[in-house]
Amino acid sequence: MDIIIERSVLFRRLVVNDFAKNYRLRCVKNLIVLLNKASNLYYKNNYMIIHNTVLNDRYKFSLDITKYSIVFLLYKNINYSQKEYCNIARLDRYTKQTMKTVLQKYYGYKNISNEIFIIGRKYTNSNDKNEKTNDCFGKICTYDINKCVLTDCVSDNLSTSDNLSRKLPETFSKSVLRRRFLYNLQQFIDVDSSIRECISNGVYLDVEYTNDIYDNFKTFPISIDQSVLFMIGMYHRSYYDNFITDNLSHDEEYRILDNFLLRLGNKVNGKIHIFHWSNADKYIIDKTLQRYPDIIQRYDDVIKRIVFVDLLQVVKLTIPGLQSYSLKYVCKHLLNIIYDTKCQNGLDAMCSVIENDLLLKTDVYTEKNLLFFHDTKDVVNYNKLDTTLLYDIVKYFS
């Protein structure tokens, strides 16, 4: 997580400095001083307050030139909905609540607009995923933050849901749950396949992926996609295979994807049912394959035989109303199994591997690879646990 915080701070600083340099603005630390001059800029935490004349010039707006606006600087890839006069950001609840808390601090200042703006790393049009902007200044988004209702992190409703989730499996007998699970599973597998055969000969998959969360800012304000699929774990007939890159590079990504498909084709005949948790694994595999048309051509027969089975959707249909459907929560809830690895989620895995890859680029570790580091070995154990628990969940119901 430290690496994300460090990148976020640097991103904000670069954005503020760009505005200050291009518009000859003076950064001030006092709001009273800020409001005395349009050439002043106030910067704190993840937002800046800037005069509307600057925003009008940069983004061709027609904002009230007697006021300042709050602009949030988010080290995020922003999805937005394009409206006639603006781009509406799609934000998570925590971000919206943080913004509203900030905005409330300035309600008493008549010179500061109630309208907010958002600058992110990249922008994707939610209605047209092909419309992307990699320049952080290429778009600017907004959001009606007044629609956001502040709530506590823990509420009475949440505890009620927690109680319900504890009782729900006990409401049904194991045989009822089993029938429901197998019925729901049938909807996801190949119609000509036996459920028993799919389960016993299935491949239980979990992948680890660095999205482009680490930006070295060498091309700022343009953000280059540096995402890499760095680990593929598969559990098949009581045996675990792990394919891991030596470093975070597309050459290494190519190598493990090639080895994975080769192993998959050699191990499984007929339809290849790949069990995974959520659409993320399928999306990452599909997205990565698009980079390598020659791999798609070489393993065309293998790829065509793959049937992805999203166990998350099957479990949701079987046991509705759980407080959480994370794999970790479901395993604790159903199997009484707790993860014993330092790595607890995909974000932990991604951050630790990025940090280790940065070390590989130093003189000290030039002859090493990612598996040299203890943290990477822990991620392998975490991945193995994920894949084997997918199988354990299926066996629990069958």
State which fold the 173-397 domain adopts: Nucleotidyltransferase; domain 5 (3.30.420)
Rounded-to-integer distance, Cα 262 and Cα 303, Å: 11
Name the region of 88 (left: φ>0; alpha: ψ -120 to 50; beta: rest).
beta
Rounded-to-integer distance, Cα 267 and Cα 367, Å: 33
Both ends of the chain: CA-CA distance in Å? 38
Rounded-to-integer distance, Cα 35 and Cα 31, Å: 6
DSSP state of 222: B
* Whole-number Cα distances in Å, 108 to 65, 105, 114, 384: 18, 8, 10, 55
- Start-end ranges of CATH 3.30.420.10 in the chain? 173-397
pLDDT of residue 361: 92
pLDDT of residue 392: 95
Please tell me whether the overall predicted TM-score, pTM, comes out greater than 0.85 for this model: no
Q: How far is CA 334 from the centre of its chain?
A: 26
pLDDT of residue 75: 95
pLDDT tens for the 398 residues of the chain, in order: 588 899 999 999 999 999 999 999 999 999 889 999 999 999 999 999 999 999 999 999 999 999 999 999 999 999 999 988 899 999 998 999 999 999 999 988 999 998 999 999 999 999 998 899 999 999 999 998 777 665 544 333 433 344 434 445 555 677 888 899 999 999 888 767 788 889 999 999 999 999 878 888 999 999 988 889 999 999 999 999 999 999 999 999 999 999 999 999 999 888 999 999 999 999 999 999 999 999 999 999 999 999 999 999 999 999 988 889 999 999 988 889 888 889 888 888 999 999 999 999 999 998 899 999 999 999 999 999 999 999 999 999 88
pLDDT of residue 163: 43
* Residue 71, phi then psi, degrees to nearest 5: -120, 120
Rounded-to-integer distance, Cα 280 and Cα 159, Å: 28
